[in-house]
Amino acid sequence: MTQSNKPSSRTLIAEVDQVSRRYADVVAVDQVSLNIVQGEVLAILGPNGAGKTTLINLMLGRLKADAGSVLLFGQPPRSLAARRRTGTMLQVGSVPGTIRVREHIELFSSYYPDPMPLDEVIEVCGLQGLGDRAFDALSGGQQQRLLFALSICGQPDLVFLDEPTVGMDVDARRRFWSVIRERVSQGITVVLTTHYLEEADALADRVIMLKQGQIAAEGTPDDIKSVAAGKIIRCRSTLDAAALGALPHVILVRDSGHRQELHSSEVEATLRALLEADQTVSDLTVSGVGLEDVFLNLTSEQSATTEQEIAS
């Protein structure tokens, strides 16, 4: 998939302008602005409480902003015109448990002017053989696939997917990725929240990382990873966090429970110093910086200096 930040040649689908929302004394979303263009996958990442779900609900019109504005297709999100072009799969989603898969799809399809044929929905979403099964009789992964089917059965131009692959096994998740890529190639636009950071890396054209209701970083997955340029050294060492943090070019030290992780800006120099300081080091690997590493760095409440001071 070709990645692009905000190509001006594509149609503007959604406009979020200086939107804020608070709950009592807590600011959940704080003056967030972003544009979403046709045919892109936008991944919104952040720790619990960062404001992801609130931002999605503001964009859907399920919540009213305290300040700022949201437009979908140039219309308010709650307008009939916008809703007929939007599909949604919420993180906490459910449908009547006694209604069959086929009946759910037929009902949701009736809300849209040009829905996808029933048999195509069932095939695309991997629901073959389940058409006559009640929702409550489905496994967790099958329920997720049905909820996804309900979000795309109307052939919407914009789909919101909030943690869509929770409960899916690896094969089902990769099938889901394939379906998303196929739909995006046909011009659909996707807004995705996920805790599977490899999912954002695999699917997203653009990533927004939220921290305390504000955008902490924005760009392509490669842009985001370049924020924390360098490499990650993982190892088992007898050195404590203070000693590891004192090695040359170490930016951040973390203990993952069974191994230590060192984020280094100059990995060769760090490795030479590490092997000299601890000749018993084992289980040593070096990898590029992934979205998860950037995510942890950007959303950490402590700077690298602070973490090393606490460790010492």
Dist CA 304 CA 312 (whole Å): 12
Residues 6+ apart with CB under 8 A from 230: 249, 251, 263, 264, 265, 266, 267, 289
pLDDT in tens, 154-204: 999 999 998 888 778 888 888 889 999 999 999 999 999 987 788 888 899
Q: Give me the pLDDT at residue 32, please.
A: 96
pLDDT computed for residue 8 by the predictor: 45
Domain boundary among 190, 223, 256: 223
Do 196 and 154 belong together in one domain? yes
> How would you classify the pairing of strands 41-45 and 189-193?
parallel
Report, in angstroms and rounded to the nearest whole number, the Rg of the chain calculated over CA atoms: 22
223, 252, 277 - which closes a domain: 223
Residues 255 and 145 occupy one common structural domain: no
The residue-averaged pLDDT of 215-232 equals: 83
* Dist. CA 31–CA 176, nearest whole Å: 33
Is 211 found in the same domain as 63? yes
Answer with the one of 223, 257, 282 that is the final residue of a domain. 223
- Residue 246 identity (one-letter amino acid): A
Angle between helices 140-152 and 101-109 (to 10 degrees): 20
Q: Are residues 206 and 289 in the same domain?
A: no
SS3 string of 19-42? Answer: EEEEECCEEEEEEEEEEEECCCEE
Domain contains 233? yes
The C-alpha atoms of residue 140 and residue 130 are separated, in whole angstroms, by 13
- pLDDT tens readout for residues 232-272: 999 999 999 999 999 999 988 888 778 999 989 899 999 99
Q: What is the mean pLDDT of residues 106-135?
A: 95
Identify whether 1 is part of a domain.
no
For position 262, what pLDDT does the model report?
Answer: 92
Per residue in 50-83, pLDDT tens? 899 899 999 999 999 999 999 999 999 999 999 9
pLDDT value at position 306? Answer: 31
Q: What is the DSSP letter of 240?
A: -
Q: Does some domain include residue 5?
A: no
The answer, yes or no, to whether residue 279 has pLDDT greater than 60, is: yes
Please write the tens of the pLDDT for every residue from 290-302: 777 777 776 654 3
Whether residue 72 is found in the same domain as residue 187: yes
- For the cut 80, the answer to whether the pLDDT of residue 283 exceeds it is yes
Which structural domain range is residue 306 located in?
Answer: 228-311
> Cα separation of 19 and 30, whole Å?
7
**Which of 67, 55, 71, 58 is closest to 18 using CA atoms?**
67
Burial environment of residue 130 by CB neighbours within 10 A (0 to 12, 13 to 18, 19 or more): buried
Pair (164, 264) in one structural domain: no
162 and 25 in a common domain: yes
The domain that contains 266 carries what CATH number?
Answer: 3.30.70
3-state secondary structure of 174: helix
> Model's pTM, two decimal places?
0.78
Q: What is the pLDDT of residues 2-32, one digit of tens each?
A: 333 444 457 999 999 999 999 988 999 999 9
Mean pLDDT score, 132-160 = 94
Structure confidence at residue 167 (pLDDT) = 74
Asked whether residue 64 is domain-assigned, the answer is yes
On the question of pLDDT at 223 being above 90, the answer is: no
Q: Are residues 134 and 246 in the same domain?
A: no
**Residue 170 neighbours by CB under 8 Å, 6+ apart:** none
**CATH code where residue 130 lies:** 3.40.50.300
Based on the domain organization, do 162 and 295 belong to the same domain?
no
- Please, which residues bridge with residue 19 across strands? 32
What is the pLDDT at residue 300? 57
Asked if residue 234 and residue 217 are part of one domain, the reply reads no
Q: Looking at the 3D structure of the chain, how many domains does it have? A: 2
In a domain, 109, yes or no: yes
Q: Do the Cβ atoms of 298 and 227 come closer than 8 Å?
A: yes
| Least-confidence region, from 118-122, 141-145, 186-190 | 141-145
Whether 302 is in a domain gets the answer yes
Contact 304, 251 (CB under 8 A): yes
Are 173 and 265 within one domain? no
Please tell me whether residues 156 and 237 are part of one structural domain: no
Amino acid at 133: R
Neighbour tally for 111: CB within 10 Å: 13
Give Cα 116 distance to the centre of its chain.
26
* Residue partners of 137: CB distance under 8 A and separation at least 6: none
**Residues contacting 143, CB < 8 A, separation 6+:** 135, 167
